Each structure stands twice: as C-alpha cells, then as structure tokens.
Chain A
Amino acid sequence: MTTVTTDDIRRKVADILDVPEAKVSPDAVLTDLVTDSFRLVELAIELQEHYDVLFGQEDMKDLHTVHDLAALVSARVVE
C-alpha cells in the first residue's frame, strides 16, 4: 500500500506551483499559493495524475489548506 504524507504533498505542490517548499507549510492556504484560480485546477489535475487518484468539485468544498489536500490525496490513495 502506498502512503502519502503531508511532506510528500508539500514537495509536490511546491514543484507544481514552482514556489519555495518553505512557503508550502501544512497550514498554508491553497488560494494564497496560486496567482490565479486556473493554477488550482492545474494543481488538482496534476496531483490526480501523479498519485492516480480522483477528486472533483465536491471534494474541494472543505479543502482550504495544504494539510487538507494531503489528507484528501492520502485517503484516496488508500481507497
């Protein structure tokens, strides 16, 4: 079983968004890390491609921080 940690997601988010990893703390708000909303779409799709998981608009309602994102990806990987 593959496990995904918050640190894994932090590194991946930093890589996709091309921002310093130090800026991508677990409490960092996702919308603060992107220059425009399209970047969020790009981030979501690239994470799904990388981890071979799926999530959609419904999942984004309660998603605010990097930690939330890590929890979602981690849960989907386990599923």
Chain B
Amino acid sequence: MPLSEDELFLLSFYRSSEINGSLFFGRLARALKPGPIQHDLTKHFADEAQHAWYWTECIDQLGSRPIKLADAYQDRYLEAVGLPMNVMEVLAITLVFERRVINQYAKHLAVPHLQPEIGATINRIMEDERWHVQWVRDALVDLEPRFGKDHIDATLKRYRQADQDVYAQALVEYEGRLGFLSPSPTDTDRTDDR
C-alpha cells in the first residue's frame, strides 16, 4: 500500500530530524576532548545518521521518495530555549529531546494497520533510542560535580517545559497531517526531571 501524503510528510520529518541530529552531534564529537562523553557522543552521532538511512530506505521500500524539508524539530527547540552553550546544556536538551522522540515513535507504533516496514523501522530505531537516553542520563550524573546537581535539574526542568510548549505548538500546526496518529498513554507529561 503506498504512503499517504501525510505519512510521507511525517516519515520525511523523522528523516530530516535524524539528519540534523547527526550533523549536530558529529560536530560536537569533533569538538570534544577524548573521554567517555566524546566516545558515546560519537556513537550517538553514528546512530542518528543510521536512523536517517533507515527512514530513507523505508520510504523507498514503500514506493516513495523523501520530501526535502528545511525545518527540523530541533530547530524549534533552539528557537524556544536558545542555543546550548556547554556540554551539560547540550546533554540536557538531548535527554529531553530523546524522550520526546521515544514518545513520538511509540505513538506511531500504536497506529492501527501500521505498515510493517514502518513498524520495523521504528522498532529498529527504538533500540538505539533507549541507549541514547541511558548514556545521556548517566553522563549528566557524572557531570554533577562540575556543574552542580541543582543547576542540572533546573536546566532539565526549563528544557522540559520548552519541549512541552514546542510539541503542543507542533501538534496544532500539523493537526491535519498528524490526525492519523492515535493518542498514546506514553505521551503524558513527565513529572520527573531525570
């Protein structure tokens, strides 16, 4: 069954966001000194690039071509919260974003009669996303002596609020296109900071 226009848009949006994430993490991986964060960030960068390829391949298997999109979800984050300027801020925004990604993919998995290619692609990506959340959360704990736990928690709280605003805004903006996604219990607002 060919992709609907809305499905193609969403898959292309995923692809575009994965590409942007990869490019961002690639640059940071280049900028950081050798160490555990550089190590894991480099793997994260490679994963995001791979995910962009998975979506490209998935769209291709479903008989379409990705739509070229200038805007990515991350751009909205940066508009809302400003540019992160140190490693902790980058990791904090990454943690919030990765949780949003997992929620979004879980929501997509719950779509009735989901095409198997899409389900397989999301499941493949989700394995990496869980690790992304884990390593970033651990890295933030490791950064507590340097940045202070309270400061990290406050940063996470600020980014989480921005995430909720950006997501709500995106839902309104793309209401027509995202209508095929059913509500998911995983999309509730989180109250914990880590």
A16 to B81, CA, bound (A): 25
Partner of A56 from the list B24, B27, B30, B86 (CB cut-off 8 Å) is B86
Residues in B with CB closer than 8 Å to A38 are 23-24, 27
A71 within 8 A of B: no
Q: CB distance A59 to B78 under 8 Å? A: no
Residues in A with CB closer than 8 Å to B147 are 54
A57 to B82, CA, bound (A): 7
Q: CB distance A45 to B90 under 8 Å? A: yes
Partner of A57 from the list B31, B85, B87, B146 (CB cut-off 8 Å) is B85
Residues in A with CB closer than 8 Å to B31 are 16, 42, 45-46, 49
A21 to B144, CA, bound (A): 37
Q: CB distance A45 to B78 under 8 Å? A: no
**Interface bin, chain A:** 10 to 19
A31-54 residues at the B interface, CB under 8 angstroms: 37-42, 44-46, 48-49, 54
Q: CB distance B33 to A49 under 8 Å? A: yes
Residues in B with CB closer than 8 Å to A56 are 85-86, 88-89
A59 to B89, CA, bound (A): 13
A23 to B84, CA, bound (A): 25
A39 to B23, CA, bound (A): 11
Residues in A with CB closer than 8 Å to B82 are 57, 60
Say yes or no: A41-B32 contact (C-beta < 8 A), given A56-B89, A57-B89: no
Q: CB distance B83 to A60 under 8 Å? A: yes
Residues in A with CB closer than 8 Å to B84 are 41, 57
Measured CB to CB, the closest approach of chain B to A68, in angstroms, equals 13
Residues in B with CB closer than 8 Å to A37 are 78, 83
B28 within 8 A of A: yes
1/0 contact string of B17-52 vs chain A (CB within 8 Å): 000000110011011110000000000000000000
Q: Can you list the 6 inter-chain pairs with the closest CB atoms, starting with the nearest?
A: A46-B31, A44-B85, A42-B27, A45-B31, A49-B33, A56-B86
